[in-house]
Structures are given as C-alpha cells and as structure tokens.
A and B are shown apart, each in its own frame.
Chain A
Amino acid sequence: MKYIIAVLKPHKLDAVRDALSNIGVNGMTVSEVKGYGRQRGQAEIYRGTEYQVHFVPKAKIEVAVADAQLEATVEAIQTAAETGKIGDGKIFVLELTNSVRIRTGEQGEDAL
C-alpha cells in the first residue's frame, strides 16, 4: 500500500477530490497548511509599511491507496491540480505498512 501526501493550491481541492472519486479513490484527509517552494510570499502593504508574508496558504491532502492504484492516483492528482504556474505544489509517495478500519477492525488493503 502507498500513502500519498499532496500539497496543492487551496482552490484546486474540489477538482482533485472529484478526479480521485472518478477513479474509485474515495476517502482522504484534508488540512489547511502554509508553505513555500519556488513561489515566494506576496508582499502586503498596510499604511505604507511593507510586510513580507513568507508563507502562502496551501491545502494538503493525504490518501492511502493499494499499490495497483498508485499510478492512476498520482496522475489524477497531478492533472486536476495543475495550473501551469509556480506554486502548483508537490506530490509525495510513502510506503504504507498497514491500515486499519476502526469500526470493523479490518486490516490491510481491505481497510482502504
């Protein structure tokens, strides 16, 4: 199993959710985060004083998939989240050793 972490532009969240749903990946965890990469923060000016805001708001999704679904999932996320401009984000793939459904106790791929 694989655990995918993707940092996205916040307004792309719905598009990515829909794209994953279309390939049968339902269920994910979403958080509001801040970050920067090549995209520098935007300067805000209040009463003539410039404030450098170093971090930009982002959305992070985390989703667990079976090995067989990995390629399709990554491709779905990338296609849905892409705008072509700096700040689109990144996708990270981690090895997932186990998964448990709390309600039933199922484990492994059955719990995804």
Chain B
Amino acid sequence: MRFSGVLGFAKRLTVFVALWVGLSGTALAEDGLNSGDTAWIITATALVLFMTLPGLALFYGGLVRSKNVLSVFMHCFAITCLASILWLVGVYSLSFGDGGAANALIGGLSSALLLNMGTDTMSGSIPEDVFFMFQATFAIITPALMVGAYVERIRFSAVLIITALWMVLVYAPVCHWVWGGGWLAELGVMDFAGGLVVHATAGISSLVIVKILGPRSGFPGEVLPPHNPGMVMMGAAMLWVGWFGFNAGSALAADGSAGMAMLVTHISAATASLVWMAIEWIKYGRPSLVGLVTGTIAGLATITPASGFVGPIGALIIGAAAGWVCFQMVQIVKQAWKLDDSLDVFAVHGVGGSLGTLMVGVLASESLGGLGLAEGVGIGQALGIQALGLAVTCIWSGIFTYIIVKITAAITGGIRVERDSEIEGLDLTVHGERAYHLD
C-alpha cells in the first residue's frame, strides 16, 4: 500500500494500530491457537516427566535396600522409554482417537504413529503435538507407579512385558472412557487429572500383581528398612513440584482454573503431610521424615481427580481425609491383609485416588465451596456416577491385570527372580552393577 502526505500518514498509522491490536492478545497467525495455553502445557509436560524422572525414581529408590536401588531406577527409566514408544505407535490413538461405532469403549487407530498429524493440527487451543506429549507423560507415570509394588523380587523381562500389555489393555481403555470421549465421560464422571485413569488403575493392578508375585523374602518380620530416607524426601519434593504440571496442566489452559488446580493441589499436599505427621507423633512418639513425605504423596494423589472441581476449603478437607485414610490403609494392607505391596502403591495411590474420586462428587458442589456440579445434577447423583466410574475402573483393571500377569508368567517362565538373586540383590545379579562403591 502506498499512502502519501498527511492523509497517508493517518492511514498508515491506522493500519499499524489495527495490526498491533490484532496481533497482541492471543497470538499467532493460526486461528484458535492460544500461545499462553500452549506455553503452559509445554511447560507442564516437562514438569510431569520430571515427576517420573527422577522424582518417582528417587522416591522409590530411597525406600528399598541399597542392593536394589539401581533396579528401581532401571524400572522407572525403562518403563518411561517403553511407554513413550507404545504411546506413539498406537496407545495414544486408542486412548484419544475416534473409535467410530465403538467410540464409547475405545478409540481407533487413526492417530497411530501420528501419520495424520502435522504441526498445525490443533487440539482445542493447543497444538495436538503438545497435547500428545502432555498426555504421554501421564501414560508414562501410571505404569511407573506400579514399580513400587513389585520391587526387589520381580524379573526385569516381566516388568517390560507387563507394562506393554497393560498400556494397551488397561490404560488405553480406561483413559478413553474417562478422557477420550468414552462412555464414562458421557455419563459425566469427574476425573480432572487422573484419580481413576492413573491412581485407581495403578493401585488395583498393583494389588493383583503382588498377590500373584508373592512377598519379599523375609516379609514381614525380616525386611530391612529404607536405605536412604533422604533420597525419599528428595523424590517426594520433586513429585510435589511436578504435580503442579500434573493437575494445573490438566486444565489445558493458562488461566484461573489452572491456578485454582495448583492451589488446591498445594493445600491438599500440605494438609495431608501434617495429618500423617501428627498421627505418627501421637502413635509412635516421633514424627518421621518418611512419614511426613508419604503424607504429601497421599494428599497429592487424593486431590488429583478433584483438582479442577473443588475450592480451597475442599482441598483442606480432602488433604485431611487423605492423610488419615491412607495411613490406616498402609497398616491394613501390610498387617491385616498381609500383602507385600512393598512401597504401598495401593494404600497411597490406589486408595488416595479412589477416595478423591468419591469426595469430588460431594465437594464439587457450590454449596460446599466447589466450582459447581454439572447442570441439574445433585450431590447424590454425582456421587453415584463417581462410584460407578470407580467400580468399573477397579474391576476392569483387576481382571485384565490378572490376565496380563498370567500371560507374562507363561512367556518368562515366572515373574519372580531366583531366590539367590533376590538375596544377593537385583542390582548386581540382574543388572551387573553396584550402586555404591564406598572405597
């Protein structure tokens, strides 16, 4: 355009101002892409991956004996790699793709290997490649959570095979039902960041694996304590920070709803920690570090499904409940049920996530400070829907994990290492490495 003279200047100024106003605010040339949302979800993706590597690895690693710490790191790292590739090859598509006539139950394979996706493809206000990656980190941490149940005695090949089968047969279906437009989503089940998809599935599945695998040699009386409580704390701290990506990122937007999710996540973590600490102080006379940080994880797991639906007061209530309930469950699983879920995956993640899934049915209500239940849905109905989602998730996870473990055992000739290997330690016998050369 060519403008000359005073009129020309005014026109140039108008064009400049119009362009400037149009380009500021949301973003680029793309229609619908919100750069604030996109930047946040890219960041959240990094935070959630950080939860697994090294957060969860350190948290679990410190809890086992020194002769097995490298095997725990190995499990977390290898699962991350394996789950990532499977996510690309087809699990993402099964979880979030359009399943056509079967979409109520499972997605199709149209997004397998992301053949139809480009850098311009959108998923809401963010690019689909970002959504893919963000969800990948959830698909990674869920099987990694189960590591805690089978530490110190599982065969490494079994870890890989169980993980691979589980991604397809348990994670993908449940993820699709709840987040991928499947039947639970249609029913209105509330699971903001993974109470069902991540914690309940991993928790129940852990219990099934443990029942078949059997306890560690010497359980319960002769088992040795955590080799590095300090490492446990470091891992828990990383999990707390990373969880902001997990819950606030699940808002899929850079706005007040993400901020509130972060807020309630934080409050729940802090509350549950103090409650756990108080219980130990009263019961045993001493508040321990391992107890304090376990309370933190309980609080984080329990708020996860509720994080987008409750307010600060709800977070206090959920955190307090998490601290108390998960503490009791640890004793019940180990002492009453005599199951060696070694690092308490079911008691902390499974029960926590389940508890939060139910509590959100109540605490999401505006009358209780929540952000509101769905139109026309009362607390009773919401609670019923949540309970249905929970029951179905648990039953499916339990049955299919049982089948998966049986198949794996047939392939590997048993999912447990030889007794001598277990006694000497997996680091040296399975991986040929020693964690500590203290000379």
- Do A and B interact? yes
Q: A45-B288, A46-B290 are in contact. Are A51 and B225 (CB under 8 A)?
A: yes
The residue on B at minimum CB distance from A51 is B225
Q: How far is the CA of A47 from the CA of B330 in the complex (A)?
A: 7
* A95 in contact (CB, < 8 A): no
Q: Which residues of B in the span 314-357 have a Cβ within 8 Å of any Cβ on A?
A: 327, 330-331, 334-335, 344
Contact of A44 among B225, B327, B334 (CB under 8 A): B225
Highest count of chain B CB atoms <10 Å: which of A44, A47, A48: A47
Chain A nearest Cβ from B121, distance in angstroms:
46
Interface size, A (range): under 10
B223 cross-chain contacts in A, Cβ below 8 A? 49, 51
- Residue pair B220, A49 in contact (C-beta under 8 Å): yes
Main secondary structure of the interface of A (DSSP, over half): strand
Q: A51-B224, A51-B225, A53-B225 are in contact. Are A45 and B284 (CB under 8 A)?
A: yes
* B291 in contact (CB, < 8 A): yes
The residue on A at minimum CB distance from B289 is A46
Q: How far is the CA of A44 from the CA of B223 in the complex (A)?
A: 12
Q: How far is the CA of A51 from the CA of B223 in the complex (A)?
A: 7
- Residue pair B331, A46 in contact (C-beta under 8 Å): no
Q: How far is the CA of A74 from the CA of B88 in the complex (A)?
A: 72
Q: How far is the CA of A53 from the CA of B225 in the complex (A)?
A: 9
Tally B residues with Cβ within 8 Å of A: 21
A47 cross-chain contacts in B, Cβ below 8 A? 290-291, 294, 330, 344
Binary contact readout A26-55 vs B (1 if CB under 8 angstroms, 0 otherwise):
000000000000000000111111010100
B288 cross-chain contacts in A, Cβ below 8 A? 45-46
* B414 in contact (CB, < 8 A): no
B294 cross-chain contacts in A, Cβ below 8 A? 47
Chain B nearest Cβ from A54, distance in angstroms:
10
The residue on B at minimum CB distance from A45 is B284
Main secondary structure of the interface of B (DSSP, over half): helix
Chain B nearest Cβ from A40, distance in angstroms:
16
- Residue pair A48, B220 in contact (C-beta under 8 Å): no
* B226 in contact (CB, < 8 A): yes
The residue on A at minimum CB distance from B343 is A47
B330 cross-chain contacts in A, Cβ below 8 A? 47-48
B224 cross-chain contacts in A, Cβ below 8 A? 51
Chain B nearest Cβ from A49, distance in angstroms:
6
Chain B nearest Cβ from A53, distance in angstroms:
7
Q: How far is the CA of A51 from the CA of B330 in the complex (A)?
A: 15
Q: How far is the CA of A47 from the CA of B289 in the complex (A)?
A: 10
Q: Which residues of A in the span 68-89 have a Cβ within 8 Å of any Cβ on B?
A: none
- Residue pair B327, A46 in contact (C-beta under 8 Å): no
B229 cross-chain contacts in A, Cβ below 8 A? 46
Contact of B334 among A45, A49, A51, A53 (CB under 8 A): A49
Q: How far is the CA of A54 from the CA of B399 in the complex (A)?
A: 42
B63 cross-chain contacts in A, Cβ below 8 A? 46
Q: How far is the CA of A49 from the CA of B218 in the complex (A)?
A: 14
Interface residues of A (CB under 8 A from B): 44-49, 51, 53
**Residue contacts A-B, CB under 8 angstroms, 16 given:** A44-B225, A45-B284, A45-B288, A46-B225, A46-B226, A46-B229, A47-B290, A47-B294, A48-B280, A48-B327, A48-B334, A48-B335, A49-B334, A51-B223, A51-B224, A53-B225
